């Protein structure tokens, strides 16, 4: 994958964390957007200190990225 922004993960970084985003149950909706792209969008916002609505169009819609971020925060809170 091309590294488009300084905040994007390189291949080795993605390999280290992608298991956190794998679905344990193959049934149901697989998801429309690539998980790595969503994670890159989260890092873009956090590292850049921008508002979610200001994400570039190369990433999934900001609502999608924010919803994943919100669920990850709640899941890893306890």
Residue 20 within a domain? no
Question: CA-CA distance, 45 to 48, in Å (whole number)?
Answer: 5
Task: Classify residue 40 as exposed, middle or buried by CB count within 10 Å of its CB (0-12, 13-18, 19+).
Answer: buried
Question: Which tens digits make up the pLDDT trace of 6-45?
Answer: 999 999 999 999 988 887 777 777 778 999 999 999 999 9
Whether 11 is in a domain gets the answer no
Q: Is residue 8 part of a domain?
A: no
Reported in sequence order, the residue ranges of 1-78 that DSSP labels E, i.e. its strands, are none
pLDDT tens readout for residues 44-65: 999 999 999 999 999 999 999 9
- Parent domain of 42: 32-78
pTM of the shown model = 0.84
Number of structural domains the chain divides into: 1
């Amino acid at each position: 994958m091309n590294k488009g922004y300084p905040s994007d993960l390189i291949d080795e970084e993605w390999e280290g964390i992608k298991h956190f985003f794998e679905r344990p149950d193959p049934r149901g909706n697989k998801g429309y957007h690539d998980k790595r792209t969503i994670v890159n969008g989260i890092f873009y916002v956090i590292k850049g200190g921008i508002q979610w609505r200001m994400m570039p169009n190369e990433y999934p819609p900001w609502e999608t990225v924010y919803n994943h971020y919100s669920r990850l925060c709640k899941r890893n809170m306890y």
